Chains A and B, each alone.
Chain A
Amino acid sequence: AQSVAQPEDQVNVAEGNPLTVKCTYSVSGNPYLFWYVQYPNRGLQFLLKYITGDNLVKGSYGFEAEFNKSQTSFHLKKPSALVSDSALYFCAVRDGSENNRLAFGKGNQVVVIP
Chain B
Amino acid sequence: NAGVTQTPKFQVLKTGQSMTLQCAQDMNHNSMYWYRQDPGMGLRLIYYSASEGTTDKGEVPNGYNVSRLNKREFSLRLESAAPSQTSVYFCASSEVWRTDTQYFGPGTRLTVL
Contact = CB atoms under 8 A, between A and B. Distances in A.
Q: What interface size band does chain A fall in?
A: 20 to 34
A46 B3 CA distance: 13
A51 B99 contact: yes
Interface stretch (B13-21, B37-45, B75-83): B37-45
A102 B90 contact: no
Interface of A: 4, 32, 34, 36, 41-46, 49, 51, 90, 94, 98, 100-102, 104-107
Contact of B43 (A41, A90, A94, A98): A90
A34 B101 CA distance: 8
Given A43-B104, A43-B107, A100 B98 contact: yes
A45 B107 CA distance: 12
